[in-house]
Structures are given as C-alpha cells and as structure tokens.
Structure 1
Amino acid sequence: MQLGTRWDAFATPPTAVPDALRAQIAAVERLLSNDQIDHQPTPRWTLTWLEGRPIAELDSGVIVSLDADGHAVVRHDPEDEFG
C-alpha cells in the first residue's frame, strides 16, 4: 500500500513524489499567474495512487499523472476548479 501526501504549490515536493512527475508539476506551477495566487490561499497538491500509478492533483483541478507508458501527462478536471 502506498500512502499519499499533500504539499503547497511552489514548495519542494516531498520525496514520495516520483521523479517522473516532478518536471510536469514544476511546469504547471510556472503557468500559474500571480493574480490567481495573490488573492487566494496558496493552492496545494495532493498525491494519491491508483492501481500503482501516482496522481498529483492541484486544488484548481489540474492533474499530473502517468500514462500506460510511464510518461507524465497533464489534464484538467473543471469540476474541481476553485474561485
């Protein structure tokens, strides 16, 4: 069993976050506008595992996960969007 974790966007991801996700997580954070961050609490990432694959989801609904070939992919779940 693998446990998930949470951390603030722009902070160093915990060691539990696989290297395969880190570059895409950093890319997502670079795209966040200062206006989004300045007027709200810092968004947080949540790392969970589904069928042995890591999934990192930002509070805004952005999801970074691995595809079947082990490549990091980014998608957005509009149902989870805040603000």
Structure 2
Amino acid sequence: MQLGTRWTLGAQPPSSVPEALRDQIAAVESSLGVDPLGQPAPRWTLTWLEGRPIAELDTGVIVTLDADGEAVVRHDDEDEFA
C-alpha cells in the first residue's frame, strides 16, 4: 500500500513524489502566475491508483503517468479517454 501526501504549490515536493512526475509538476508551477489578490496558494495532492501516481492541484490540473510511464498533464474537466 502506498500513502498519498499533500504539499503547497511552490514548495519542494515530498520525497514520496516519484521522480517521473517532478519535471511536469515544476512546469505546471512555472506556468502559473502569482495571485495578485494574495489568496492562499493551491495545494497538490498525491494519490495512487492501481500503483500509478496521480498528482492533482486544487485548481484541477492533474499530472500522472501514461501507459508508457511518461508524465502527462491534463485538467480534471478533460475526458481522460478522448
């Protein structure tokens, strides 16, 4: 059994976040601007489904691995099987 974890956008991901996701998580973070209203930063949640890691940002951005083990970025309102 693998346990998930949470961390705040911009913070160093915990060591439990697989290396295969880290570059894409960093790319997502660099594409987001600073909230001009000073709202709290969104948080990432790492979960596991059938042994595959899923990192989801509170904004709905999801970073996971495809069948080939490559990191994929999508949004939770996108059809995963399209």
Q: TM over 0.5: same fold?
A: yes
Q: Which position in structure 2 is the counterpart of 1:35?
A: 35
In the TM superposition, residue 45 of structure 1 has moved relative to its aligned partner by 0.2
> 1:77 Cα deviation (Å)?
1.3
Number of residue-to-residue matches in the alignment:
78
Q: Which residue of 2 aligns with 1:72?
A: 71
Q: SS state of the match for residue 25, structure 1?
A: helix
Residues 3-18 of structure 1 mapped to structure 2, 5 A cutoff? 3-18=3-18
Q: Structure 2 unaligned runs (5+)?
A: 78-82
Name 2:2's counterpart in structure 1.
2
Identity, in percent, stands at 74
Q: TM-score, normalised by structure 1?
A: 0.88
Structure 1: tracts of 5 or more residues without a match: 79-83
Secondary structure of the residue that 2:35 maps to in structure 1?
A: helix
Distance 1:58 1:68 in 2: 21
Distance 1:77 1:41 in 2: 21
SS of the aligned residue for 1:34 comes to coil
Q: What RMSD, in angstroms, separates the aligned Cα atoms of the two structures?
A: 1.5
Larger helix proportion of the pair: 1
TM-score by length of 2: 0.89
1-structure distance, mates of 2:17, 2:35: 27
